Amino acid sequence: MWVVPLYFTTKLHWWRFLTTWFIFSVITAYISFRATRKPLACTTPRLVYKWFLLLYKISYATGIVGYTVVMFTLFGINLIFRIKPEDAMDFGVSLLFYGLYYGVLGRDFAEMCADFMASTVGYYSASGMPTKHLSDNICAVCGQPILVDVSEEGIIENTYRLSCNHVWERPHVMYGQLLDWLRYLVAWQPVIIGFVQGINYVLGLE
């Protein structure tokens, strides 16, 4: 999903998508590079977290705005502002696509970076059990003191306590499940289409 769209968008001269894809790729490549270094810098986990949290919020907001524009267009609200339906629909679908596309990519890269960092700092083993233990007032990811208490409202990010008494930012679960569903749909779509085409060929259907 990261490389394949580059071929089609270059061929179709979709420069707007290519621009956003290039910016996303450069920043994410740098973040991924930092996350895979050994030894891992103590500031890297927070840097990785902040970038993917920002990407999550942007993609989520973009998708919501795109979906809202599409629904408003279907109900004809765009005519109040004298906007052509095709223009409004194109704008809404584009925003919805950008939100879902970069949301899926960001989620995949975030999981990859998290796995690399977990194996580097020692919170992962073949048995699946952590090999390090921290006190409750230390972040289990970056090893730095927790600045915002669980009961306090943070300015940039909030603190949530997990069952292990360590903390992490809790994303929107429903949106994450939607991105997982979209990823599986895109990944399995060629297989499903090939399977259906095979059945049609065997049965002699056009």
Residue pLDDT, tens place only, 40-91 = 888 888 899 889 989 988 998 998 999 999 999 999 998 888 899 999 999 9
Residue pLDDT, tens place only, 47-56 = 998 899 899 8
pLDDT at 27: 96
pLDDT at 174: 60
What are 38's two structure tokens? 């050994």
Q: Respond yes or no on whether the N-terminal peptide bond of residue 39 is cis (omega within 30° of 0).
A: yes
pLDDT at 142: 63
164 pLDDT more than 70 = no
Rounded Cα distance between 95 and 101, Å, is 10
Distances (CA, A) of 157 to 21, 49, 170: 26, 10, 10
Residue pLDDT, tens place only, 20-38 = 999 999 999 999 999 999 8
166 pLDDT more than 70 = no
pLDDT at 95: 93
Rounded Cα distance between 89 and 83, Å, is 10
* DSSP annotation string for 96-129: HHHHHHHHHHHHHHHHHHHHHHHHHHT---TTS-
Reported in sequence order, the residue ranges of the chain that DSSP labels E, i.e. its strands, are 160-161, 167-168
* Burial of 39: CB neighbours in 10 Å, binned 0-12, 13-18, 19+: exposed
Q: What's the domain range around 70?
A: 4-203
What are 184's two structure tokens? 């599986």
Count of CA atoms in the C-beta half-sphere (13 A) of 194: 5
13 pLDDT more than 80 = yes
**CA proximity to 32, closest of 48, 18, 17, 21:** 48
Looking at the structure of the chain, the number of domains it has is 1
Work out the angle at residue 115's Cα, subtended by the Cα atoms of residues 52 and 4, and round it to the nearest 5 degrees.
65
Rounded Cα distance between 152 and 150, Å, is 6
Is pTM, for the whole model, over 0.85? no
Q: Tokens 């909030």 appear where? A: 158
pLDDT at 6: 78
Rounded Cα distance between 103 and 112, Å, is 14
